[in-house]
Structure 1
Amino acid sequence: MSRSIVRQSKFRHVFGQAVKADQAYDDIRVSKVTWDSSFCAVNPKFLAVIVESSGGGAFLVMPLSKMGRVDKNYPLVVGHSGPVLDIDWCPHNDNILASCSEDTTAMVWQIPDHTPSRPISEPIVVLEGHSKRVGIIKWHPTARNILLTAGSDNLIIIWNVGTGEALITMDDHPDLIYSVGWNYNGSLFCTTCKDRRLRVCDPRKNEVVAERLSPHEGIRPMRAIFTREGNIFTTGFTRMSQRELGLWDPTNFEEPIALLELDTSNGVLLPFYDPDTNIVYLSGKGDSSIRYFEITEEPPYVHYISTFSSKEPQRGMGFMPKRGVDVSKCEIARLYKLHERKCEPIMMTVPRKSDLFQDDLFPDTAGPDPAVEPEEWMDGRDADPILVSMRDGYVPPKSRELKVSKKNVLDSRPATRRSMSAVDGSSLPPQLLEKLIEEIQNLKATVLSQEKRICDLENKLSKYTNGTV
């Protein structure tokens, strides 16, 4: 008697569940720009959504805890003069967000923990280097302050946000870049392009190290991401316009590891990948479903798990970093689905009866500390993300300010510019030096007390403006 063999996997029964209506975010006017980005970015502290706005480019940022109806006068982040096309939270600072726009610029923003009383209009740094609209923005996964932008001028620029300078400019793409994805340690990235090529780029060598023509034979846009093991997962279309996904080994691009046809829908499939579980979630704009697959080392390598379906189509999707999921409910992923007028969290859960922490579901995950400094990364050093335990859940730290020190382009020796005490301390009389140190400490104490006072006043003001007092 033959028996069908069921594949053993702890994720075989993962199911998606939308939150209750009062835990969604209502009355959000999601942007109508026809650009294939996710329009939504989320982290353990904040939800950010690109919205319609009369004054050009704007997006909404609010604490995750602020569920329910969003006040129509809620302060937006405004600063771009054209529509915002993509946004991305910094993986190493939950209060730092980067945005890019049709106005050819990228901007980096510091978002306060409290609700601001007026629109945020002053970015920390403006990155100007593209000559056409900037459609893709991606933080480096392990290096501090390294940010990648890709524009319709077919350039990829890698920036040091801490100094506001462009470190690397790549012009290897002859046509519009559809997607960019860093690998696990940030040593390489992969791109898809309108010329139908999938490329693997080494930014510090400023060269394409591998490429494949037409991983999907259709002419519609493709997407590509690296898996943790270093393979590349792609979504695209067949010649007959069927949606298709593929898995490739970049060291041998001749044959795919796996190639799977899905359906005949039009929407580009946006992949969201969890390196801890090796599960990829596929969401198409205009779809009303999220399919998810497990990537393994056994054939057929990409295993279909299930589909989460709802009635309304999605305008975009945000994906929570693993630090932000609820381990007590065995939640292994959370997606934020954008409707036309609201944002709805969807929890992906493994059914378990035990209330104890499930070690096998929650291995140590990438934490908020960068593994390398920008100078080390530019010098060729690579490091995997610094991992943190999920055993007691993750508590986001208080806001840390991003310091930006623009280099003086007229100064030929920036390394020799030091503080007065560091350079000239040895030549000062001891009494004067002591007096200077005492004055500096007094000034520091004054600044700290004033900062605390300002924070207290802002918190009080936000309570009044939010109607809680």
Structure 2
Amino acid sequence: MSFRVRSSKFRHVYGQTAKKEQCYDNIRVSKSSWDSTFCAVNPKFLAIIVECGGGGGFIVIPLKQTGRQAPDAPIVGGHKGPVLDIAWDPFNDNVIASSSEDCVVKVWQLHDYGLTRTMTEPVVDLVHHQRRVGLVLWHPSASNVLLSAGSDNLIVIWNVGTGEAMVVIDTVPDQICKDKKIRVLDPRTGEIEEEATSHEGSKGSRAIFMKNGLVFTTGFSKMSERQYSLRAPGHLNDPIVMTELDTSNGVMFPLYDPDTNLVYLCGKGDSVIRYFEITPEPPFVHYINTFQTSDPQRAIGMMPKRGCDVQACEITRFYRVNNNGFVAVHPFVVPRKSELFQEDLYPDTVGDTPAITAEEWMEGSDADPILISLKDGPVFSTPRKELKKVVKKSNVLDKKRTASQMKTAAPEAADGESAGLSEEAVIVKHDDKIQKLEARLAANGESAAGGGAAPAGPARLEVPAATDQLGPDEV
């Protein structure tokens, strides 16, 4: 009787923990119960959703800025409610999207050195959802195409360059990720092409596309056992693999590396990372190993392949945030003795150049991502021109537009009090001044009508400096 060991160059992949001085500490990670990874990383920055007063925000740390972070470190804090999800633009390492309980999606652009003060002005506000927005996701090959999904059961596909919703999908009858269904949709029409039951448990599920159109899902059984499955397109109702893992109650996030065909399962509240290799032969989903850590994870982010250290044979890297705000860095490595570039470990990978534009995608074009070689080491996004702040057409009664124009027209208020106020406070203040002026004008008119002494010349109204520059539409 013979025993045959499966041949795979990834059988011996192992995780490591970087030294403490190479990690990050003192992060006020969000305490929200929303099912999100709360962390996003790219070759330049680490972003983590944090607790903050007066709304919601997230911290952005340049990767080289390791160690203990200042307790008053600046954040990206323009949302009026807790931030629920964040995602880096795959083609510009300085651009990130965020979604929030305030129903708004915002897109931000940062400098290479990160934040020097709290940022509150996004490049664009994307407004359409009527309830909280829990998911944002960039298109993998088209520039400026962003998807958002909210608790209003809507999926919106945006053109970030114009700030407009290109597609609004309202064909999903229940809350996305929580209705026990898996659906394949046409992203331009919203038509449901295939629908099946994903997992029978009521807790959150996740699904990702893999090579050759295969779909990998995670979820819960009726008995609240955590499961994963592998399904083929056209046969979603009949899983190729359906396996139960454990009885933990944390949602599992499948993180996928298409170059190696490895799937990493990271559960919220878990202290382990399980990883599997997907192959064409049974059992199709091959368990490789479990990376054990000493504390549960509150947030986790996965480095894109173009940010990995090829000289160390690193095939991926995780950033795990625990409940105490410590961010541990975990490189996953294939043991090799040679120091030469390992071509079999690093096939050409997804690069930082979009294959098509948002307009071309909307017109019906599809394109695979443009691939690059990692032979020369990590690849940072090619420097691009700064994004211009998107100004959308709006009604003259739109308060946001009015506040923005007031801020531009009157950078310094005459009495020195308005400069530091929020836009809403400035609006209220100017309305109050206008009402007082109207009252004085009405009083002067009544005096003239009542036979009082007429003024020597025409009445002159003293208009405050902050309002005398306003156009007729604003007044």
Classify the TM-score, shorter chain.
0.7 to 0.9
Give the TM-score normalised by the residue count of structure 1: 0.82
The alignment partner of 1:22 has SS state of helix
Conserved? CA contact 1:85–1:135, under 8 Å? yes
Q: Mapping of 1:141-180 within 5 angstroms?
A: 141-178=140-177
Once the two structures are TM-superposed, the CA of residue 395 in structure 1 deviates from its matched residue by: 3.5
1:334 aligns with 2:317: yes
Alignment equivalent of 1:313, drawn from 289, 296, 299: 296
1:132 match: secondary structure: coil
Q: Encode CA deviations 1:391-411: one digit per residue, 9 max, x unaligned.
A: 01124244642245546479x
Match of 1:276 in 2: 259
Q: Which residue of 2 aligns with 1:286?
A: 269
Q: Verify the 8 A CA contact 2:142 2:361 in the aligned structure 1.
A: yes
Which residue in the other structure is 2:239 paired with? 256
Match of 1:227 in 2: 210
Task: Select the residue among 356, 367, 372 that pairs with 1:372.
Answer: 356
Tell me whether 1:27 sits opposite 2:51 in the alignment.
no
CA 1:267–1:56 in structure 2 vs 1: closer, same or farther (change >3 Å)?
Answer: same
The corresponding residue for 2:284 is 301
Give 1:382's aligned amino acid: D
TM superposition score normalised by structure 2: 0.81
**Separation in 2 of the partners of 1:205 and 1:339?**
41
Q: How does 1:442-453 map to 2 (within 5 A)?
A: none
Task: Kindly report which structure 2 residues correspond to 1:59-458, keeping only aligned pairs within 5 A, or say none.
Answer: 59-178=58-177, 194-213=178-197, 215-340=198-323, 341-396=325-380, 397-398=382-383, 400-403=385-388, 405-406=390-391, 408=393
| Counterparts of 1:325 and 1:355, CA distance in 2 | 15
Aligned mates of 2:117, 2:389 — CA distance in 1: 23
Residues 163/298 of structure 1: CA separation in 2 closer, same or farther (3 Å cut): same
Q: Distance in 1 between matches of 2:394 and 2:253?
A: 40
Q: Distance in 2 between matches of 1:366 and 1:235?
A: 25
**Stretch deviating more after TM superposition (397-406 or 216-225):** 397-406
- 1:163–1:404: 8 Å Cα contact kept in structure 2? no
What are the Cα deviations for residues 76-122 of structure 1, in whole angstroms up to 9, with x where unaligned? Answer: 11100100000000001000000000000000000111243311111
Q: Percent identity?
A: 57
Contact 2:123 2:390 in 1 (8 A): no
Amino acid at match of 1:107: K
Q: Is the 8 A contact 2:219 2:228 kept in 1?
A: yes
2:53 matches 1:54: yes
For the pair shown, the structure with the greater C-alpha radius of gyration is 2
State the Cα RMSD in Å: 1.3
Give the deviation of 1:239 after TM superposition.
2.0
Deviating beyond 3 angstroms after TM superposition, the runs of 4 or more aligned structure 1 residues are 397-400, 403-410
1:56–1:83 CA contact under 8 A, matched in 2 = yes
The one-letter amino acid of 1:123's match is: P
Q: Are 2:259 and 2:347, in contact at CA under 8 Å, matched by a contact in 1?
A: yes
Q: 1:15 to 1:42 in 2, by over 3 A?
A: same
Structure 1 residue 228 displacement after superposition: 2.1
Which residue type is aligned with residue 234 of structure 2?
T
Partner of 2:471: none
d(CA) in 2 for partners of 1:256, 1:108:
37
Shift of 1:46: 0.2
Alignment size in residue pairs? 393
One-letter amino acid matched to 2:190: N
Inter-partner Cα distance in structure 1 for 2:57 and 2:115: 15
Contact 2:255 2:302 in 1 (8 A): yes
Moved more, 400-409 or 367-376: 400-409
1:36 equivalenced with 2:48 (yes/no) = no
User: What SS does the aligned partner of 1:375 have?
Assistant: helix
Q: Deviations over 1:2-43 (max 9, x none)?
A: 221111000000001111111110000100000010000000
Counterparts of 1:309 and 1:399 in 2: how far apart (Å)? 40
CA contact (8 A) 2:184 2:193 kept: yes
8 Å CA contact retained: 1:216, 1:236: yes
Query: Is the 1:222–1:237 contact (alpha carbons within 8 Å) kept by the matching residues of 2?
Result: yes
Q: CA deviation at 1:195?
A: 2.4
Give the 3 Å change call, closer, same or farther, for CA 407–75 of structure 1 in structure 2.
Answer: closer
Amino acid at match of 2:204: P
Q: Does structure 1 retain, via aligned residues, the 8 Å contact 2:75–2:115?
A: no
Cα distance in 2, alignment partners of residues 154 and 26 from structure 1: 37
Distance 1:8 1:335 in 2: 26
| 3-state SS in 2 of match to 1:177 | coil
